[in-house]
Chain A
Amino acid sequence: QKEVEQNSGPLSVPEGAIASLNCTYSDRGSQSFFWYRQYSGKSPELIMSIYSNGDKEDGRFTAQLNKASQYVSLLIRDSQPSDSATYLCALKPGDYKLSFGAGTTVTVRA
């Protein structure tokens, strides 16, 4: 079983719609969870971090964490063409390294 698994893409959504990205993980001891956005040919950019069960909202982004189900998700509301990118789910299984999923590519259709 992979340490971090993301729903396979690509995900195509119309402009203004909600994009829903999902991620499951295997290490129950993980305490820190992150979503990074990566544009083609660029480096990952931190967009959200979440540490407690429940929802965390930041602008058009909402991260949801359920540690009992070992599940973390990201919702992008009112999707814009500029949101077209690969979204990487990452977590810290300990104190040091980040473990990443393979990423989900999102395309927002104008």
Chain B
Amino acid sequence: DAGVTQSPTHLIKTRGQQVTLRCSPKSGHDTVSWYQQALGQGPQFIFQYYEEEERQRGNFPDRFSGHQFPNYSSELNVNALLLGDSALYLCASSSGTGYQPQHFGDGTRLSIL
């Protein structure tokens, strides 16, 4: 049973560039959430996708956008990269809403030079 998979594992970009991160949810899960984790901090919620729609968004600028595909996989896009975007980007999947826990992938480490 495959868990949550993310790609790539590591990425190095320069300021002003754009990046796309990818996530495949755990088998049986239909909901994908994205989080940003800066060093020494807890993960911060970016947004959540369900039925190919963004249904909740955290306090992140419009430079952060996403998409969910019919097979429930998801992409996170970040435009006009800033040095402060350097972080671990985590994808979490879950089934339905309410009490269901979220399970995380291994993350993508994004470094901005």
The answer to whether A98 and B43 have CB atoms under 8 Å apart is yes
Residue numbers of A with Cβ under 8 A of B are 4, 31-32, 34, 36, 42-46, 49, 51, 88, 90, 92, 94-103
Which are the 3 A-B pairs with shortest beta-carbon distances? Answer: A100-B42, A97-B45, A96-B56
Cβ-defined partner of A102 (8 Å) among B40, B48, B104: B40
Q: Known contacts A88-B42, A96-B56, A97-B33: does B101 contact A49 (CB below 8 Å)?
A: yes
Q: How far is the CA of A34 from the CA of B101 in the complex (A)?
A: 8
Q: In angstroms, how far is the closest chain A Cβ from the Cβ of B34? A: 10
Question: How many Å lie between the Cα of A106 and that of B52 in the bound state?
Answer: 39
Count of B interface residues, CB-CB < 8 Å:
25
Decide if A98 touches B33 in the complex (CB within 8 Å).
Answer: yes
Q: How far is the CA of A101 from the CA of B105 in the complex (A)?
A: 19
Q: Tell whether A51 pairs with B99 under 8 Å between CB atoms, given A97-B56, A97-B58.
A: yes
Q: Are A32 and B98 in contact, CB atoms less than 8 angstroms apart? A: yes
Q: Tell yes or no: B71 within 8 A of A by CB.
A: no
Contact A100 B56 (CB under 8 A): no
Whether B106 pairs with A44 at a CB distance below 8 angstroms is no
A43 to B9, CA, bound (A): 12
Residues of B32-68 contacting chain A, CB below 8 A: 33, 35, 40-45, 48, 55-56, 58
22 inter-chain pairs at a CB distance below 8 angstroms, sorted by A residue, are: A31-B98, A31-B99, A44-B90, A44-B104, A45-B104, A46-B102, A49-B101, A51-B99, A88-B42, A90-B42, A95-B97, A95-B98, A96-B33, A96-B48, A96-B56, A96-B97, A97-B58, A98-B35, A98-B43, A100-B42, A100-B44, A103-B42
